[in-house]
Amino acid sequence: MAKLVFGMNLSLDGYVDHQEFRPSPALFRYWIEHARAATGSIYGRRMYEIMRYWDEDRPEWSAEECEFAQAWRREPKWVVSRTLKAVGPNATLISEDIEAAIRDLKARLTGEISVSGTKLAQSLGELGLVDEYQLYFHPVVLGRGTPFFAGPRPPLRLVSADRVGEDTMRLTYAPA
């Protein structure tokens, strides 16, 4: 059975914003390895549209960015959306009976499936489908933006805390 993990970079005050801060080289290396090892990723529409950036090579990319793009392109993706009509390469659109589709993925696959998108994570959490929450705290305060938890924080218990790179702290929680 696969494990669903919702994990994202966030500020000390709990906001996610991919434009306001970038991962350190060590954390970026971590995300490359994470993409390589994952069974796949489940995206909400908005997060998938952001991540489509990695679908096409860009001349200004570093070797590490090219490496991440290759790993991201290889992993299977499932996109939860009622408005999209089509998705890109190596992606499957889930637009109906979302709960059944995600339960099926969990039942028939093994390994870790990443959940990306705060509203999607909230919905899947409310259905009892998220097995773990990984919060990657960066030493910045934004004061605004999209909160990591889209709604009320679910009851959680701390499982572990560790550093990733020189300036990021990962807190891992399981539903209580």
Residue 82 contacts residue 69 (beta carbons within 8 Å) = no
- pLDDT by residue, tens only, the chain of 176 residues: 999 999 999 999 999 987 888 889 999 999 999 999 999 999 999 999 999 999 999 999 999 999 999 999 999 999 999 999 999 999 999 999 999 999 999 999 999 999 999 999 999 999 999 999 999 999 999 999 999 999 999 999 999 999 999 999 999 999 99
**pTM for the complete prediction?**
0.95
Give residue 41's pLDDT: 98
Cα gap 5→8, rounded to integer Å: 10
Class of CATH domain 3-175: alpha beta
Characterise 54 by phi-psi region: left (phi > 0), alpha (psi -120 to 50), beta (else): alpha
Give residue 68's pLDDT: 98
List the chain domain ranges.
3-175
Residue 108's Cβ-count burial label (10 Å; 0-12, 13-18, 19+) is exposed
